[in-house]
């Protein structure tokens, strides 16, 4: 059996650092209801979930928080925050924990994707010209093949668009046909969108 936690011995440096970066994050509002855990795809992986993670931050378990690999399992999808009745931004906590890890200790796959994004503007390393060619080619095929989509418009870096669509950068490379279904929906609802050339 483990010894009880002595709260006066815990330093809450991590919590204080997060509160400096996110001044409106009142972590003490947590009701410990566990609602955040219900929809979390990373819940119970590595014996951790959003509620436990947040409690550890609140209790000042800085050393344990900074070492938990769960920070890299979390998808940062924000389901926990959306479900939380107090709207606590747990993904922001995870983001800050990730930032405390030395570069050489971070997961190799994530590190590689980030390096690729810095070099090429996307995680797959697709040159911008190739991305634009793929988008134009798939759009032309849809216009030629599917009735009702003859005037389908797909653009890259169009100024004045209402929204920028950021799809998974893998799709233009490995599954370009998966781009079209979303375009068709956006076309039918007359959405004003464009792709950024840097994804």
The pTM (predicted TM-score) of the whole model is 0.66
**CA angle, 174 then 180 then 186, to 5°:** 140
The answer to whether residues 7 and 60 touch, using CB atoms and an 8 Å cutoff, is yes
Q: What is the pLDDT of residues 67-124, one digit of tens each?
A: 999 999 999 999 999 999 998 999 988 998 999 999 999 999 989 988 988 888 888 8
CA distances to 42, 116, 123, 192 from 98, rounded to whole Å, are 15, 18, 18, 35
Whether residues 21 and 60 fall in one domain: yes
For residue range 124-177, what is the model confidence (pLDDT) as tens digits?
888 889 999 999 999 999 999 999 999 999 999 999 999 999 888 788 888 999
Q: What is the pLDDT of residues 35-69, one digit of tens each?
A: 999 989 999 899 999 999 999 988 888 889 889 99
Q: Is residue 181 part of a domain?
A: yes
CATH number, position 16: 1.10.1060
Residue at 113 is within a domain: no
Q: How far, in Å, CA of 75 to CA of 28, rounded? A: 23
User: What is the domain extent for residue 22?
Assistant: 9-105
Structurally, the chain folds into a number of domains equal to 2
What tokens were used for 69?
A: 């690999």
């Amino acid at each position: 059996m483990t010894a009880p936690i002595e709260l006066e011995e815990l330093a809450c440096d991590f919590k204080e650092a997060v509160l400096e970066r996110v001044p409106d994050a009142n972590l003490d509002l947590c009701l410990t209801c566990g609602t955040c855990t219900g929809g979390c795809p990373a819940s119970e992986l590595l014996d951790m979930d959003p509620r436990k993670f947040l409690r550890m931050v609140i209790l000042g378990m800085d050393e344990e928080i900074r070492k938990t690999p769960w920070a890299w399992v979390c998808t940062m999808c924000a389901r926990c925050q959306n479900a939380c009745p107090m709207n606590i931004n747990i993904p922001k906590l995870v983001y800050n924990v990730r930032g405390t890890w030395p570069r050489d200790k971070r997961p190799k796959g994530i590190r590689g994707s980030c390096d690729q994004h810095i070099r090429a503007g996307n995680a797959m390393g697709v040159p911008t010209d190739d991305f634009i060619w793929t988008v134009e080619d798939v759009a032309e095929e849809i216009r030629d093949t599917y009735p009702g989509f003859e005037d389908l418009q797909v653009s890259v870096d169009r100024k004045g668009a209402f929204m920028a669509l950021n799809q998974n950068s893998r799709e233009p490379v490995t599954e370009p046909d998966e781009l079209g279904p979303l375009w068709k929906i956006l076309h039918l609802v007359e959405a004003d969108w464009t792709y950024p050339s840097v994804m």
